[in-house]
Amino acid sequence: MLEIITTGSIEVVCGPMFAGKTEELIRRIRRLEYAKKKVLVFNPSIDDRYSREEIVSHNKTKARARFVNNSKDILNYINKDVDAVVIDEAQFFDQEIVKVVEYLADQGIRVIIGGLDRNFRGEPFGAMPELLALAEYVTKLTAICVISGKPATRTQRLINGKPASYHDPLVVIGGEESYEPRARTCHEVPNKPKIKY
């Protein structure tokens, strides 16, 4: 058990795909390393698009990482020397990630989380809403909409070049071949239930 210190914090970097979330995490990792801080980086095992040993941005910037099957596995790597924990693709972790992150911050660890705040349907994704609510600091990034050129806050999933239906599987790991950033007015989700008042 770690000694409780009260200097921990939670930071969340969120936004749609292609907004530079992983790039921002790697920038923060480099700053921590430059300051001689011990940083541990984690990624869910489900997301192995580019590597099984590194988090990799779409621009191919990399940082060493441990890939874990569930959020509690992160605790197996924590010791009193850890200054910061960085977690990428947090939306893919189980709901227990919320307790893990709170615990780490309560132990005096700076926790930096990256993830999609919305799924392809445009709805809150996984544990991200709760993590955003608990965070001391939030950075919400936007991409550029491929249709309008305006700021993109949504992720459009494509199947054979067409927008995915609301009823398609929620999690499909992919990159530019399956997803693109879209502004609210350009985001399409066929068969999505309409909001009525």
What token pair was written down for 159?
């199947």
Q: Say yes or no to pLDDT of 28 above 70.
A: yes
What's domain 9-142's superfamily in CATH?
P-loop containing nucleotide triphosphate hydrolases (3.40.50.300)
pLDDT at 5: 44
Residues 6+ apart with CB under 8 A from 11: 28, 110, 111, 112, 113, 135, 136, 137, 138, 139
Q: What is the mean pLDDT of residues 38-66?
A: 83
- pTM, two decimal places: 0.91
Per-residue confidence band for 4, with pLDDT thresholds at 50, 70 and 90: very low
Q: Which is catalytic among the residues 24, 89, 176, 188?
A: 89
Annotation marks residue 11 as catalytic: no
pLDDT digits (tens, 9 = 90+) for 91-148: 999 999 999 999 999 999 999 999 999 999 999 999 999 999 999 999 999 999 999 9
For residue 16, give the nearest of 177, 182, 187, 178 by alpha carbon: 182
pLDDT at 56: 79
Q: What residues does each domain of the chain span?
A: 9-142
